[in-house]
Amino acid sequence: MANESQSRAARRKQLNTKKSKGRKRPSVKSIFMTLLTIGIVLMLAVGALFAYYIAKAPALDEEQLSDPFSSKIYDKDDNLITDVAGDERRTRVSYNDLPSQTVDAVLATEDVRFFDHFGIDPRRIGAAVLSNVTSGFGSEGASTITQQVVKRSYLTSDKTLERKVQEQFLAIKLDQQYSKESILEMYLNKIYYGQGAYGIVEAADTYFGKEDLNELTLPESALLAGLPQRPSGYDPYENPDLAQKRMNTVLNLMVQHNKITEEEAEEAKQTNVEDMIVEDTEEENTPYRAFIDQVEKEVSAKMDDANIYEDGLNIYTTIDPNAQEYVEQVLNDETVPWPDEDLQSGIAVTDTKSGAIRAIGGGRNYTKGNYNFATDINRQPGSTFKPITAFGPAIENEKLSTYHQINDEEIDINGWQPNNYDGEFRGWVSMRYALSRSLNIPAIKMLEETGVENAKPFVEGLGFKFEDDTMNLSDAIGGGVLTNPVQMSGAYAAFGNGGVYNEPHTVREVESADGQTTDLRPESKSAMSDSTAYMITSMLESVMSDGTGTAANIPGLPVAGKTGTTNRETSDGQDIVPDVWFSGYTTDYSVSIWTGYSDNNVNLSDSSQQIPRQLFKSVMGHISEGNAPEDFQRPDSVEWVDVEDGSRPAELPSDYTPESQIVSELFHVDNKPTETSEQFDKMDAVGGLTATYNEDTEAIDLEWSYDDDDVTFEVSVATDGGDARELTTTQSQSMEISQIQPGSTYEFTVIAASDSGDAEESDPQSASVTVPGGEEESEETEEESEEESGEETEEETDENSESDAEDESNDEGESEENTEEENNGNGNNDDNNGNSGNNENEDSEEESSPTEEEDTEETEESPEPDDEGSSEEEDSSGETNEEPENEEQ
C-alpha cells in the first residue's frame, strides 16, 4: 500500500511539472508590438491634436509681417483713440543698409544659427525641452528670430502648447516663403526697443541720436541687440545699471560665437551706458499719456505680463476723452493760481456706479515715464479718511444716527494727546457736525468706540491695505494708511453707489491677436449697507453746504465731499502741511485730488492748500455740464426723524419744544428714538384769578394762585374793550391797581412764565371788573331827581284847583290876580325843583369820583392818559411792593 501511495504522489508531482513546463512567457516581439501600438496611437492622437492646432493657425499676411505689432486703444464708446506705435515712429530699414556689426550682435544674442535652420532650431528645441522637464513647462523658450516674427505678427504671448505648435508651423511656412534676409529685415523693423521706439532705426535715434545705423559703435550695437528681451527692464534711462550688464552680456555672446575678439569686447565694456545715451527728448505723440501709462500697467498685471507695445492687442478702455482733455487742461493752464513750477497735483475721475476711470491727471506737464501723481504716490490722506475709517465703520457696526452725540474734549490715549485743527474743543456735538467741521477728537472717539478690529474689515472692503496688517487709532484721522487719488476716488464712489464697491479700472476688455477676448472688469462687491452709504453721503453734503468744503461746492449740483490736510513736524522741529486733498462725488462721478510737492518736506502755503477745492469745483462742474446727475436716493432702511437738539441719547421733541431746538437727522429704521423729551414743558395756567373793586381804597385788587416756585407772572390790562398792554411782571400772586377811572371796565390777563426758560408760557387767564361812578351813574341820579320834582308840582296844582272852586264868588279880577300869582308860584317851584335836582347830582359826583380839578391832577400823575389803570405797587425794578398779607396770600 505504501508503494502504491508513493506512486500516486509521484505521479501528481510529475503531472504538475509537465503543466509548469507548458506555460510560455511573453516574447520580446509581443512586448515591442504592444509598445509600438501604444506609440502609434499616441502619435496619432498628438498628430491629430497638432493638426487641429495647425488648422486654427492664421494665414501669413505680408502687411502684418511688416508693420510693428503694437496695440490699438479705444475709448469708452469703442472709438479708436490711438495706436501706441504711432505713424511717426515706424522708420524702416532694408537688409542691405544694416551694418554687419549690428547683424552680428543681433544674431549672437537671438539666433546664432539663423541662416542655417529652416525656421525652427531643433537643437534649441531639445535644450528647451530638457529645461522644461526639469524646471516646468515654459521655463525656457526655443524661439528663433523667424518664430519671433510670427509671434509678434499673429499670436499672443501665452505659454501654451497650442501657441507653440502654431508658432513653429508658421515659422517653417514663413521660412519657406521668404528669404532669410527678408525675415531678418522684418524682425529689425518690427521689434519694440522701449521708449516708444519700434524698429532698430527709431531705437538708434531715440537712445543715441543717430539716424544712420552705420554710425553705431560696437557698444551701441550691443545695447540695441540686448534691449528687445526686456525693453522696460533694460531701459538705459530708467535702469542704467541693468542696461550696462545686458550690454556686457551681448558682448560676451559675440565673443563666444566668434563675432568679435575678447580685446574688442573688453574695450567696448569700458564704455559707460549713461555716457552713450543722449538726453531724453522724447516727443509725445500718444494722447492722454497719463491714462495710457495706467492702461499699460493694468494690462500687464492682469494678463500675465502682456505688453501693449508688442502683443498687438485691441484694448477697450474706460476713458472719456472730454474729461481727460479737461483734466489735462486745468493742470497746465491758469485755472488755479499755481504758486510755482514745482507744485504738483494728481487727479482721478471715476464713474460712481461702475468704478471705471474716466480720466487721470498724472501731474503738471506730464509726459511718458513721468511719476504719476494720480496712481503712483503713497501719501497720508488726512481727514478725507474719516468717513472711511471712523464714521463709516461706526454707523455700519452700531447703526448709529447722524445725530449721535460725541463729546469733543481733551483726551489722552496712552500718552497720545491729539487735538483739533484749531486747538479748540466744542463739547457735545453731533456726528454730522463733527464730520462737517472736520473735528479730530470725535473721529478718534468713534473709531475707539467701534474698535479697530471691527473697523478694519470695513476699510479693507474699500480697497485699502494696512502695513503689517495692523490698524491703529491714528488711522481715524488719516495718519497711517498711504494712498493715492485713484484709490480714494474708488472708495468714495462706494458711498455714492449705495455701498457697492468697484475697484477702479482703466480697461474693460482686451482682444488678443488670435481673436480671443478677455474681460478685465472687476466684480462688484458690497462694502457696506445702503443705510451707511446714505448717512455718510448726507453728512458729506453738509460738508459742502456749511462745512469745510464750501469753497468746492457747486450750486445746483447734488454733491458730497470731504477736505483733507496732513500735518507733521520735520527733523528740525518745523510744523508743515505737506499734503492737501479733496475727494467728492455725485451719482455720476467720483473725483479725488491731491496737491503737494515731490519733496514731502516742503510746506504748502495757505493759498496752495485751497487748490484741491478749486480743481474739484472746476473739474466736477465741467464734466457735469449738460448732464445734471440725479440726487442721492434715500433707501427705505433710513428715515429722517425730528429730535430735540441737545438730548442725549436722542429723544423726540415734546409738544412744547421750541422750533429752534428741533433738528432733523437720519436714523436707521431699527434704531429710531422712542422716548419723548421732558426738557421743555408748558407752564400751568394761574388759578383763582379775581379782580375786585375795593371801595375803601378806591383801587382794584387783583389776586390769583400758583403752586410752583421760580415763576414770573406777566400781567396785562385792557380798558373798555381797547387793546391790551403790559402792565407789569411780578413774582407775587396779588397786586393792587390804583389811579383807575370811575365807570371804566378793566380786563386783566395773567400769564405764568418759567424763570429758567425750560418751559413754554402758560395759557392766559383773564378777569374783569367795572369801577363804580362815572357819567352813566350821574345821569341816573339826575333822572331820579327830576321825577321827584315833577310829582311835587302836580300835587300843588291840584290843591290850587280846589281853592279856586271854593272861591267862585270872588270877583273876576281877584280870580285873575290869584291865578297870576299861582302861576308865578308854580314857576318858582319848577326852578327850585330843578336846582334841587342839580344839587343832588353834584353831591353824588363828590362821593364817587374826583372833582374836575382832582381829575386833572390824576391825569398829570398817571403815565397813561387813556383812563387805563396803573399799579401803585411797581418799583423801579419792575416788581410790585406788596403788603405782607398779600405776599402770604
Query: Annotated catalytic sites, by residue?
Result: 110, 383
Cell of 299: 494690462
Cα 322 from chain centre: 23
Characterise 177 by phi-psi region: left (phi > 0), alpha (psi -120 to 50), beta (else): alpha
Helical pair 440-450 and 452-460, crossing angle rounded to 10 deg: 100
Angle made by CA atoms 624, 627, 628, in degrees to the nearest 5: 75
Q: How many helices (H) and strands (E) does the chain have?
A: 27, 26
> 507: which DSSP letter?
E
Selection from 443, 385, 384 nearest residue 413 by Cα: 443
Angle made by CA atoms 803, 806, 811, in degrees to the nearest 5: 95
| Cβ atoms within 10 Å of 22's Cβ, excluding its own | 7
Q: Which residues contact 298 (CB under 8 A, 6 or more apart)?
A: 505, 506, 507, 520
Residue with cell 452709504: 533
Residue with cell 552705420: 214
Q: Are 498 and 635 in contact (CB under 8 A)?
A: yes
Beta strand 560-569 pairing with 745-754 = unpaired
Query: CA 595 to CA 339: how far, in whole Å?
Result: 12
Q: Are 100 and 221 in contact (CB under 8 A)?
A: no
Judge if the upstream peptide bond of residue 653 is cis by omega within 30 degrees of 0. no
Q: Are 620 and 376 in contact (CB under 8 A)?
A: no
Query: CA 615 to CA 624: how far, in whole Å?
Result: 14
- Say which amino acid occupies 452: V
Selection from 437, 452, 632, 613 nearest residue 535 by Cα: 632
Query: CA 552 to CA 544: how far, in whole Å?
Result: 7
Selection from 342, 383, 735 nearest residue 543 by Cα: 383
What sections of 271-349 are H helices per DSSP? 273-276, 289-302, 321-332
Distance between start and end Cα atoms, the chain? 153
Cell of 318: 474706460
Q: Which helix (H) or strand (E) holds 701?
A: strand 699-705
Query: CA 565 to CA 379: how far, in whole Å?
Result: 11
Query: CA 733 to CA 711: how far, in whole Å?
Result: 10
Selection from 106, 305, 82, 285 nearest residue 186 by Cα: 106
